[in-house]
Structures are given as C-alpha cells and as structure tokens.
C-alpha cells in the first residue's frame, strides 16, 4: 500500500539556531516530536532530502543572488532584510529545503508514495528572484513547480497557498505562465502588501493567478466556502497534473502574527477538498511544503490534522463537512468579486 511521504532532516533546525526569531527551530522540534509519537508509527515513509544545486536554484533565482546567499555560509549572523537573517548553516538548510521538495516530488511521481508533506525550513514563498524577504531565502514551492516541469515533464501545475501572508514571490515567478495556476487565500491588506483581487496574471498568464484577499477574522467555514466555490471549479477546468501546497498555519486562531480563526479541523477540511480534487484530476498527487505558523501547539495540532487527512485517518467527525457547507458564508462578497473578475478566463463561472 502506498504511504504518505514526510521530508525531515536535523539540518533544518540549524537555520537561526540560537538566534531570537519567531521563525524558530522550535517549530520543527514540535513537529518532529509529534511524528515520533506512537500515533504515527509506521504510517508514513521518511524521505531523505538532498541539496538543490545552484543550476536548479537559478530556475527561479538570479545566479548572483544565489551566490550572495552562499556567501553567508559560516557567518555568525547576516541580516538580509529587517525580517530575514542567516546563521552559519542557513544556506545549507535552504538548499536542503528546496531539494527536499524535489525528492518528495520524485517519490510521488514514481509512485513510491501517494502524497507527502515536506516539513522543512526556512520557508520560501516570499523569496523573490533576487531578494530574500519575509523569513524566506529560496522559494521552495516555485522551485518545486519548475522541477516538476523540467525534470518530470509536467505541463500543468496547481500551486495552492493558504499561508496568512500572500506569496508575492510565487505569484511573480509565474505571473506570465499559463502552465502554473497560482491560487492564494490570505489576509489583506497585510504583509507583504500584494495579492489584491485584481492581480490576475498578465499576457499568456492572465487568469492563471487567482487571489482571494480576506479580511481578518475568517474561520473554518469561510475558508471552506472559498476553496469549494472558487478553487474547485477553476481547477476542474485547468486539470492539474500535480498539486503543490504552500501550507502556512499562521491563519490558526491563536497565531501571534495572524488575525484569522482557523482550527485544525478547518485545515483538515480544506485538505480533504484538495485531495478529492487530486483524486479526480491527477492520480492523488498532492505535495505540501511548510511555510508559516508560529503558535507552537497550534502548528503541531494543525499539521497533525493535515497529515492524518493525507494518510486516511481524518480527525473530522461524520457530518462536519456538511455543517461547513450549510449556513451563510461571510466572505461571499469577495467570492462574488473573484468570480466576476475571473469569469472572463474560466468558463466554469
């Protein structure tokens, strides 16, 4: 029986080791401890990462920028922007984060695992072509999409980004590219300031960027309705061959950086929607990579809920999805606005 693949490595904990930062090694410590507990014994396959090469990183990043990050190797501390720093092993951890996603994509594509979660750091979706920002050094999910296309020959990649913060750099990486559908739900206006509903792509990529900017205070029901009413119809037309998820858990109700109200059951519910889409469209190929999430207990319970969905042991009680579907959805106005804008590009609307 195919299992779920999990990417993990102790080197990821060395990024920002002994440096005071909210994007701390403790994030992975609580997740790895959770994986090593009895409830997950024998239920996943550990996938060993390998470092991304400079040539691979140059699919998304300027080679000069890659060299600038490489030059931080061994340095006690380098501040790249007010939010983003490196410590002696950060460059190695960042290469391994991107390469870990590559290895997981390999395992999904060759059928070794049916889906997977890369529990890596540093995160990636804010890292621009030539600039580190928002705690991110290399854009793991954008690199993963390029890897799937360049190495595995895929033509249609869906990237879902449910982090609290808009994935500015992922959007910019594929803004003209009709082979990558980028779908983001995020708090707006908020850091980094991008992700307005009118940002839809340009040229041949027009319509292939779908932003659903949400005000603070949205919870499980609201996110579920957005994914069901906007993501699913568009994706059924796009017909992805692989689904990548930038999974940030800073929309968790108690996250110190966020203003949303998601719970572990909410993450499980939208994961189920995505898995059902993958079952119908792309042979169940879902590959998730960790982005934000800074409430340690919330991160642990939410990631556990997602992994349990991946392995078929859902935390959702019977009738929970139906309960989400019923009743009013407070973001209906933004859903209507997104549909109005995207109707020109997607006949499903």
- The catalytic residue positions are 126
Cα distances from 19 to residues 5, 78, 84, 88, 113, in angstroms, run 30, 11, 12, 11, 36
Residue 51 has which token pair? 């470092």
CB 234 within 8 A of CB 340: no
Query: In 10 A of CB 332, how many CB atoms?
Result: 13
Query: Which residues, other chains included, contact 326 with Cβ-Cβ below 8 Å and sequence gap of 6+?
Result: none
Query: Could you give the count of Cα atoms lying within 13 Å of 36 in the half-sphere of its Cβ?
Result: 7
CA 331 to chain centre: 22
Task: Report helix, strand and coil shares of the chain as percent, to nearest 5.
Answer: 40, 15, 40
3-class SS of residue 164: coil
Cis peptide before 74 (omega within 30 of 0): no
């Amino acid at each position: 029986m195919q299992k779920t693949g999990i990417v993990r490595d102790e080197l990821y904990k060395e990024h920002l080791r002994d440096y005071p930062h909210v994007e701390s090694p403790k994030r992975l410590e609580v997740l790895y401890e959770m994986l090593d507990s009895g409830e997950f014994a024998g239920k996943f396959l550990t996938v060993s990462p390998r470092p991304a090469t400079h040539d691979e990183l140059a699919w998304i990043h300027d080679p000069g920028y890659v060299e600038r990050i490489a030059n931080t190797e061994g340095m006690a501390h380098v501040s790249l922007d007010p939010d983003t720093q490196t410590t002696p092993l950060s460059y190695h951890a960042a290469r391994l984060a991107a390469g870990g996603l590559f290895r997981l994509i390999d395992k999904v594509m060759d059928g070794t695992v049916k889906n997977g979660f890369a529990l890596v750091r540093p995160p990636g979706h804010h890292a621009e072509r030539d600039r580190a920002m928002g705690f991110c050094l290399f854009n793991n999910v954008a690199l993963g999409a390029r890897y799937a296309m360049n190495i595995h020959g895929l033509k249609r990649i869906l990237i879902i980004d449910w982090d609290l913060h808009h994935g500015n750099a992922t959007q910019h990486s594929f803004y003209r590219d009709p082979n990558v559908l980028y779908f983001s739900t995020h708090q707006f206006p908020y850091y980094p300031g991008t992700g307005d509903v009118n940002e839809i792509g340009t040229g041949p990529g027009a319509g292939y960027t779908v932003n659903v900017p949400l005000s603070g205070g949205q919870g499980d029901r609201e996110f579920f309705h957005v994914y069901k009413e906007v993501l699913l119809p568009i994706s059924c037309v796009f017909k992805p061959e692989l689904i990548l998820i930038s999974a940030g858990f800073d929309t968790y109700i108690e996250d110190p950086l966020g203003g949303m109200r998601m719970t572990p059951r909410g993450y499980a519910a939208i994961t189920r929607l995505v898995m059902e889409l993958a079952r119908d469209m792309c042979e169940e190929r879902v590959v998730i990579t960790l982005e934000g999430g800074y409430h340690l207990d919330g991160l642990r319970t939410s990631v556990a809920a997602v992994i349990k969905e991946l392995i078929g042991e859902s935390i959702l009680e019977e009738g929970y999805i139906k309960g989400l579907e019923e009743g009013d959805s407070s973001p209906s106005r933004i859903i209507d606005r997104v549909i109005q804008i995207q109707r020109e590009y997607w006949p499903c609307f």
